[in-house]
Structure 1
Amino acid sequence: MSDASINASLREDEAEFGDYFALLKPRVMSLVVFTALVGLIAAPVSIHPMVGFCAILFIAIGGGASGALNMWWDADIDQVMKRTKSRPIPAGKVEPGEALNLGLALSGLSVVMLALATNIFAGAFLAFTIFFYVVVYTMWLKRLTPQNIVIGGAAGAFPPVIGWIAATGSMAVEPWLMFALTFLWTPPHFWALALFMRSDYDDAGVPMLTVTHGRKATRAHILVYTVILAVFAVGAAFSGIGGPIYLAVAAVLNLLFIRGAYRIWRRDEADSEADNFAVERGFFKLSLLYLFLHFGAVLVEALLKPYGLGGWG
């Protein structure tokens, strides 16, 4: 092989900016940013736009840091799973040590800067969230128990609480209602993914519910959690974060979500694989829209309140 060919090959294997950015799990980060923004705007205080921007920026960086540390620890199973084998570390683009250093550096930066930009309570809560996601969920629960996504899902539900604390410096019931919305949504969302990804978790040895209890039990769990989520989501319309707009959105979405969960529950492994795949994947896609529109409705209610139009007056 010529020197030119060797150099070209080396350039292909070298990490680019996009590879390091992929370590931050940008799609997950977008959810973190949006829910944190809703928590910040829904707070009953005014906040300087620059302070608000910095708060969301540092919360996003903290979320990205968690993603990098997650990829560092899970590199071995990411290499086995079809859904994750193209990530930067298993693909050989980024060294595990680089991901670890990036995650640690961004974690420290985000926590310190959020505390300086807003308040110490917000910085401390962001630090706790990173710790919960990386240590409690990734390092401990994920490979230990089929309840991994149930308990560990709390990490993804904390951003609106952090946004609220960044704005107010204190706790309240409302941000915990937003927390619960995401917390209860997480299990059916990920169990649907586990159903249509088939053997991924089996191959990786991750004790997801589909692996430890089977697909039939997973379908039943999805239905039960979806019903509980629907009761809570619609009930939240009559709280401080709700209003008629939120109620209308929640009523429609939860009827669709329960219908989707029921269709999954009544499926049978004797049904065609294509039919099962379509139902499960459809529910998973709906779950993405479900959370976005619920938080979008909370955001609209919050933005309309100064004009006397949001909430229940």
Structure 2
Amino acid sequence: MSDASFSLPAGGPHTGAVAPMAGGSAVADWINLLKPRVVVLVVFTGVIGLMVAPGHLNPVLAFTAILAIAVAAGAAGALNMWYERDIDALMRRTRNRPIPAGRIEPDAALSYGIFLSVASVVVMGLATNMVAAVALAVSIAFYVLVYTVWLKRRTAQNIVIGGAAGAFPPVIGWAAVTGHIGLLPVLLFAIVFLWTPPHFWSLALFAEIDYARAGVPMLPVVAGPRHTRWQIMLYTLLLVAVSLLPWALHVAGPIYGAAAAVLGAGYIVASWRVLRDAQDAGGHSLTRDAPAKAAFRYSLLYLALLFAAVPLDAAFR
């Protein structure tokens, strides 16, 4: 994949150039600052890691651990929105977020994100163990410092490397129960890591204009949509192969293996349709990126059902 440096939009990430506060902020804005739709998927994969871990965790402590994962994910989202407020203001799909829309002040969002980050790690450490707490802290730092600050504005590899940030929850959930990290959570980490590029690039195909306007070097902007379609296909094939490893390495059984094969076949078909979408000479879709939108939606269903198959398989082993 291509790699290129992009200039920051005028003013850089810390200009504070957002609309003035419009009569204060509502509770809904503070919730939206946590990226709740992202948090749901993060929590789900964390719960799966906790459910399949060997051992037992008191239900109250288990709930506390999952709450800490949710708060940490939301805190990272808030810090991401604080740092990216300038480019959010330039993109149609993000310009109504609380900070660029002027409903929450940047400094307040920064304090909010830092406080929740620290609190989530402390609570995780007190409720479970230091391995889970450290893994949680690393996940926050990776998303904020590595992906948001370092990679996103500098390289088309941003979502490839940065995808590791969203892959930590099953490892954290497992560690909360066991105090260590085993093979299964590592494989689940790898699945989410490899799922992220084709999932996000499907979105990037139909959000290319927004990213170009904001000067963000997402793959369709840097290398073009045709190259992006091929990368989606290649990463999907790699993802499906890795998704079969828990079954092949005997850390998951036939129910999981069958689910991985069937769901993976569906994902390959969805990505193939993205690759074969009717295109103009520049590789841009002639169907308003209908296959990319369908692949994006399927990717969410794919990950949810694949992870749901893990505890279902364990229950019958």
TM-score w.r.t. the length of structure 2 is 0.90
Higher relative contact order (CA 8 A, sep 6+): 2
Distance in 1 of aligned mates of 2:277 and 2:285: 10
Report % sequence identity: 51
| Alignment RMSD | 1.7
CA contact (8 A) 1:245 1:301 kept: yes
SS of the residue 2:57 aligns to: coil
The superposition leaves residues 124-156 of structure 1 with CA deviations (integer Å, 9 ceiling, x where unpaired) of 111111111000110000001100000000000
SS of the residue 2:287 aligns to: helix
Q: Which runs of 5+ in 2 are unaligned?
A: 1-19
Please tell me the residue identity of whatever aligns with 1:289.
L
Distance in 1 of aligned mates of 2:34 and 2:150: 20
Distance in 2 of aligned mates of 1:292 and 1:231: 17
Q: CA deviation at 1:275?
A: 2.0
Distance in 2 of aligned mates of 1:142 and 1:215: 18
Whether 1:148 and 2:151 are equivalent positions in the alignment is no
Counterparts of 1:181-196 in structure 2, within 5 Å, are 181-196=191-206
Aligned to 1:57: 67
Highest CA radius of gyration, 1 or 2? 1
Higher helix share: 1
Q: CA deviation at 1:238?
A: 3.0
CA contact (8 A) 1:188 1:222 kept: yes
Q: CA deviation at 1:197?
A: 1.7
Q: CA deviation at 1:241?
A: 4.4
Q: CA deviation at 1:98?
A: 0.8
Q: CA deviation at 1:266?
A: 2.0
CA contact (8 A) 2:187 2:245 kept: no
Aligned to 1:162: 172
C-alpha spacing 1:118/1:248, structure 2 compared with 1 (3 Å): same
CA contact (8 A) 1:223 1:265 kept: yes
CA contact (8 A) 1:234 1:250 kept: yes
Q: CA deviation at 1:254?
A: 0.9
Q: CA deviation at 1:272?
A: 8.6
C-alpha spacing 1:169/1:157, structure 2 compared with 1 (3 Å): same
C-alpha spacing 1:60/1:78, structure 2 compared with 1 (3 Å): same
Distance in 1 of aligned mates of 2:28 and 2:213: 28
The superposition leaves residues 22-49 of structure 1 with CA deviations (integer Å, 9 ceiling, x where unpaired) of 1111011111111111001110111111
Q: Which runs of 5+ in 1 are unaligned?
A: 1-9
Number of aligned residues: 296
TM-score w.r.t. the length of structure 1 is 0.91
Pick which of 120-129 and 153-162 moved more. 120-129
Aligned to 2:222: 212
Distance in 1 of aligned mates of 2:187 and 2:237: 17
The superposition leaves residues 78-120 of structure 1 with CA deviations (integer Å, 9 ceiling, x where unpaired) of 1111111111101111011111000000011000110000011
Counterparts of 1:212-291 in structure 2, within 5 Å, are 212-270=222-280, 273=285, 275-291=287-303
